[in-house]
Amino acid sequence: MIHNRYVRLRSRPCGKIGQDDFELSSMALPSPEQGQLLLKNRLLSIDPGVRNLLGAKEGYLPPIAVGAPVTCSVLGEVIQSRHDAFAEGDLVVGRGMMGEYSVVTPDALCWKVDKASAHTLSNALGVLGNTGRTAYFGLLEVGRPEPGGTVLVSGASGSVGSLVGQIARIKGCRAVGIAGGEQKCRMLRDEFGFDVAIDYLGKSDEELHAAIVAACPDGIDVFFDNVGGRVLDSTLPAMNFGGRVVLCGLISQYDGASPPVMANLFMIVAKALHVRGFLLPQFADRYDEAVAFLEGAIARRELYFREEILDGLEAAIPAFVRQFNASTAGKTMVQLS
Ligand SMILES: NC(=O)c1ccc[n+]([C@@H]2O[C@H](COP(=O)([O-])OP(=O)(O)OC[C@H]3O[C@@H](n4cnc5c(N)ncnc54)[C@H](OP(=O)(O)O)[C@@H]3O)[C@@H](O)[C@H]2O)c1
């Protein structure tokens, strides 16, 4: 019997999450059932989307019950397999537990990591994992940018957004990013290669809209939105006719904040916009294509990926809470020995 130390949901957060909403606990881990894997977790992915599972409402996955383990994307080594396609010793990415071990049921968010690959394990979980694949399919399949077009990205210093801007540039587009603060805007230009960066902090809706218009003199062909709320509302009037709005996430609303009144929704009609949400698993049968593209771009030094790797399970709770305090840039992961 394995004793698993893990992060437990202590209380259902109301509004902004705090460290007190979580606690470290330990439990005897049940053996994997037929079709499942037992993993020793090596890396935990810290993702804002998990915040959606902490409320009582149904989201893209069922909510996590109070007292239950917090789930997250993990990279781990198979120490017991009850699934024909996986063997002990395999390295696997899957939806597991924010803890030392996970029992994983292979699904569209689970795959084997190529041990022979020259890439690091953190790359396998980040730029070549959910993050890079989301950026790739969200931009290229949902956004369908064309060379010479303008792509605007919100949450542009984040792990998905920073890759979206670079993929847009690889495809011959002009990339404009929105981020909070001068330091992050400098990072967008100097590290991630955005053509222009817009600082949304301290701006009224009108000022934000004016800054977007100034940064996109030919209008916006594709808006890749990670944020929602007023950032989305301020962007809609600057879209070109027939433009595409990719709804990847709505991080500004994840803490239960009431959505602002959307003053510009009619622009979707007036500009005949294509507004489409998506979930990465919709593209599960094409993951190889995304990984080949991302690996090629890394090899040609066209793609830069910022990672912060924290040590030990104790780091997981502060790292998760910190994501909503604007103090992260790039991908945050927790490494377990
Ligand atoms: N559809 C899918 O399949 C899928 C898959 C993965 C992720 N996602 C979603 O994609 C989005 C980005 O994920 P990620 O992993 O890149 O997250 P991340 O690395 O935490 O980055 C998110 C960025 O959003 C910005 N932000 C946070 N709160 C904000 C607010 N209230 N207003 C404006 N900006 C805010 C932050 O930068 P600033 O400091 O600039 O505010 C942060 O850098 C999330 O919404 C996530 O849920 C969707």
Sheet with 239-247: strands ordered across: 196-199, 174-179, 150-153, 220-225, 239-247, 274-277
First-to-last C-alpha distance (Å) of the chain: 20
CA dist., res. 21 & res. 66, Å (int): 10
pLDDT of residue 276: 98
Query: Span 130-280: which CATH code?
Result: 3.40.50.720
Distance from residue 223's CA to the centre of ligand 1 (Å)? 14
Superfamily holding 2-126+306-335:
Medium-chain alcohol dehydrogenases, catalytic domain (3.90.180.10)
Whose tokens are 């989307």? That residue is 49
Q: Are 36 and 16 in contact (CB under 8 A)?
A: no
Atom 25 of ligand 1, residue of closest alpha carbon: 155
Atom 45 of ligand 1, residue of closest alpha carbon: 249
pLDDT of residue 257: 67
Distance from residue 2's CA to the centre of ligand 1 (Å)? 35
Please tell me if the CB atom of residue 68 comes closer than 6 angstroms to any atom of ligand 1: no
Which is the closest atom of ligand 1 to the Cα of 257? 31
Please tell me if the CB atom of residue 36 comes closer than 6 angstroms to any atom of ligand 1: no
Q: Are 48 and 323 in contact (CB under 8 A)?
A: yes
Please tell me if the CB atom of residue 160 comes closer than 6 angstroms to any atom of ligand 1: yes
**What is the helix (H) or strand (E) element at residue 95, kind and residue range?**
strand 91-97
Mutate to test the pocket of ligand 1, among 251, 258, 279, 323 (most ligand atoms within 8 A of CB): 251
Distance from residue 323's CA to the centre of ligand 1 (Å)? 8
What residue spans define the domains of the chain?
Answer: 2-126+306-335, 130-280
Please tell me if the CB atom of residue 47 comes closer than 6 angstroms to any atom of ligand 1: yes
Distance from residue 225's CA to the centre of ligand 1 (Å)? 9
Distance from residue 48's CA to the centre of ligand 1 (Å)? 6
Please tell me if the CB atom of residue 234 comes closer than 6 angstroms to any atom of ligand 1: no
Instruction: Tell me if 2-126+306-335 shares its fold with 130-280.
Output: no
Please tell me if the CB atom of residue 161 comes closer than 6 angstroms to any atom of ligand 1: yes
Per-position DSSP letters for 178-218, written without gaps between them:
EESSHHHHHHHHHTS--SEEEE-TT--HHHHHHHHHHH-TT
Mean pLDDT by 10 residues, the chain (337 residues): 94 90 94 96 95 82 93 97 96 97 94 88 96 98 98 97 98 98 96 98 97 98 97 98 97 81 96 98 97 96 95 97 80 95
Atom 43 of ligand 1, residue of closest alpha carbon: 158
CB count within 10 Å of CB 203 equals 16
pTM for the full predicted model = 0.96
pLDDT of residue 82: 97
**What is the helix (H) or strand (E) element at residue 274, kind and residue range?**
strand 274-277
Distance from residue 249's CA to the centre of ligand 1 (Å)? 7
Please tell me if the CB atom of residue 71 comes closer than 6 angstroms to any atom of ligand 1: no
Please tell me if the CB atom of residue 152 comes closer than 6 angstroms to any atom of ligand 1: no
Please tell me if the CB atom of residue 184 comes closer than 6 angstroms to any atom of ligand 1: yes
Distance from residue 226's CA to the centre of ligand 1 (Å)? 5
Amino acid letter, residue 324: F
